[in-house]
Amino acid sequence: MIDFIDLSLVNWSRGQFAMTAMIHWLFIPLTIGMTYVIAYAQTIHVRTGDPEWEKLAKFWSKLFGINFAIGVGTGIILGLEFGTNWSNYSWISGDVFGAPLAAEGIMAFFLESTFVAVMFFGWGKVNKKFHLVSIYLVAFGATLSALWILIANAWMNYPIGMVFNPDTARHEMIDFWALVFSPFAVNKFLHTITSGFVIGSFFIISVSSWYLLKKRNYLLAKRSIIISAAFGLLSTLFIVATGDGSAYNVAQHQPAKLAAMEGLYDGVESAGLVTVGMITPGKKVGDDKPSFIFRHEIPYALSFLGYRDIHAFVPGANDLVYGNEKYNIESAISKIEKGKIALAAFAKYKEAGKNGDETLKQEALAEFNEFQKYMGYGHFDKPEMIMPNIPFIFYSFRIMVVAGLFLILSAGLLFYLAMKDKLSNKWFLHMGIWSFPIAMIASMTGWIVAEVGRQPWTIQDLLPTIKSASNINSSAVILTFWMFLAILTVLVIAEVSIMLHAIRKGPDNKEGGSNA
């Protein structure tokens, strides 16, 4: 039952975490993506001795350092919210969720933070090869840090390698490597880390395009575009490949998310993939309104992507909520009923334990084990609650795809023009400048699809978000929301101001820079 849940508390807690996470994500992809471009440029310098390549690497390292320092601060605030706003989730699942986060701190952050000092201050002061190794170790450390965080996040989407202990009311890990190598973890890591490569690449492309538009730092800008466009193009193409794996995983384990992504209210065989469409305003699960005002789709594509069978049945929201006997899809109504049985049996088990009634305790445990997998559903009162916001996810997904296609086109075109030494057209340079914010939009909407699409679950099918929040007054969360927003806004303004100042000064460290 949820009649005692403070939905204001839950919604403000969700809003605060979303705000903090999205601002934090403004910094993290640059940290991940830029280091590989810097490392590659410095590798060319070490091999050729050309000082212009070191000048290039050193300049982008300066911007990387600004971003790295401020990004760490936003991450600290994000981590604190697990304890302040989501203590129920942390208590129930901390034994599992905390393990990869601990590994991130021990194995990744220390590596990254140790060698970042050598990377920043070692120019001309340490052996060039050792300095180059330090840059690669910073890049590897940032990637490894993302790996463990994404493993933790993947577990929330696809809980595996653990059991629920009724005596402690907590999830306990039984197979760490199941978490690490789950299909969700592998695919999420590859997809998300490549997104960081894309954003880092297009940041460099954007700044370099601005230099060329201003007729400044021609050699540095041209070389930067060549290596970043090549890196960005390969990364965007790889994202498409990992996106296929994501679609398959979602279809197998998160059918409600897939239905929302496609605006699919009624399941269908040989389902097409909607390329463009407009969902009927006010459309609700279970009503008789048409799903779309208009749409265009690629025939059979959704069935193939989700099930590797062009004729496969893809369930829609109505099938998942109300069930479909023909395709053996259990309704949310049935799952909620069984979930309430599980919760009642769990309460009976705890009470029998307190009273020392071993017979009743074992009977309750047997009943609980029978219905345990439905326990999370027992916290819902309405079957429609199992679905995320369908229009929001549907449109976010298409914004992500359109932005991604633009990035593939722009990376390929700018790489070609740079190689042919034809980077003079102002329209193409403006395209390069705008490629960075479009890359950020693609990344942000991708996270919206992944995380908002998982709602109403904190842990898929096991723990709903309404039961994950801390038992505190919502006014405290509202107060800290505005406090964190103010602090993070100041950090963002500081980041942008310092970055723009450094960019205006350029690699020559003076306003106006050089035309070389």
Give the pLDDT confidence score for residue 3 in this predicted structure: 47
Q: Are 292 and 272 in contact (CB under 8 A)?
A: no
Give the pLDDT confidence score for residue 1 in this predicted structure: 39
CA–CA distances in Å: residue 227 to residues 13, 199, 443, 472, 507: 42, 14, 21, 51, 17
Give the pLDDT confidence score for residue 104 in this predicted structure: 77
In tens digits, the chain (516 residues) has pLDDT values of 344 567 888 999 999 999 998 888 888 888 888 999 999 999 999 999 999 999 999 999 999 988 887 777 777 777 788 888 898 998 899 888 888 888 777 776 677 777 888 888 888 888 899 999 999 999 988 888 888 889 999 999 999 999 999 999 999 999 999 999 999 999 999 999 999 999 999 999 999 999 999 998 889 999 999 999 999 999 999 998 888 888 899 999 999 999 999 999 999 999 999 999 999 999 999 999 999 999 999 999 999 999 999 999 999 999 999 999 999 999 999 999 999 999 999 999 999 988 888 889 899 999 999 999 999 999 999 999 999 999 999 999 999 999 999 999 999 999 999 998 888 888 999 999 999 999 999 999 999 999 999 999 999 999 999 999 888 888 989 999 999 999 889 988 988 999 999 999 988 866 665 555
Burial of 410 (0-12, 13-18, 19+ CB in 10 A): buried
Domain range annotation of the chain: 263-327
What the block records as the tokens of 219 is 């050699």
Helices (H) and strands (E) in the chain, counts: 17, 8
Q: Please name which of 261, 363, 369, 361 lies closest in space to residue 315, comparing C-alpha atoms.
A: 261
Residue 277 DSSP SS3: strand
φ and ψ at residue 278, rounded to 5 degrees: -130, 115
Question: How many angstroms separate the CA atoms of 516 and 73, rounded?
Answer: 37
Burial of 489 (0-12, 13-18, 19+ CB in 10 A): exposed
| DSSP codes of every residue in 202-260 | HHHHHHHHHHHHTT--HHHHHHHHHHHHHHHHHHHHHHHHHHHHHHHHHHHH-HHHHHH
- What single letter denotes the amino acid at residue 422? K
- What single letter denotes the amino acid at residue 207? V
